[in-house]
Amino acid sequence: MDICVGAIAQELNRNHRWGRSEDELAGFVQEAMPYLRLCCADREAVEKVLVNYSTYGRMVRALVDPEAPCCERDSVARQWQDYLRKVVGKIWSRDGPVPGHEAEDVVQLAWVHILRGLKCFRFQSKLETWLYAVVKHADRELRKSAARILAESQEVPPVGILETLIGRERQRQVRAVVLECLMVLGRTRKKIEGLMEADPRKLDLLARDLIWALIGDMSQHELAGRYGWSEPTVSRVTHDLRALLPAKLHEGNGQHPG
Q: Which backbone phi and psi does 19 adopt, to 5 degrees? A: 75, 25
CA distance 48 to 42: 10
CA gap 74, 72 in Å, rounded: 5
Each residue's pLDDT, cut to its tens digit, for the chain (258 residues) gives 446 887 888 888 787 888 888 888 888 888 888 888 888 778 888 888 899 999 888 889 888 888 888 888 899 999 999 999 999 998 888 888 877 788 899 999 999 999 888 888 889 888 899 999 999 999 888 888 777 666 555 443 344 444 444 444 455 666 677 777 776 665 566 666 666 566 666 677 777 777 777 777 678 788 788 777 788 888 888 887 777 777 766 665 444 333
pLDDT at 164: 44
CA distance 62 to 136: 24
Which pLDDT value is given to residue 31? Answer: 85
Other CB atoms within a 10 A radius of the CB of residue 187 amount to: 12
Residue 178 · residue 214 · CB < 8 Å: no
* Domains of the chain with bracketed CATH: 5-62 (no CATH), 70-148 (1.10.1740), 161-252 (no CATH)
Cα 153 to chain centroid distance, Å, stands at 28
Q: Is 160 in contact with 151 (CB distance < 8 Å)?
A: yes
Per-residue pLDDT at 183 = 67
3-class DSSP assignment, residue 96: coil
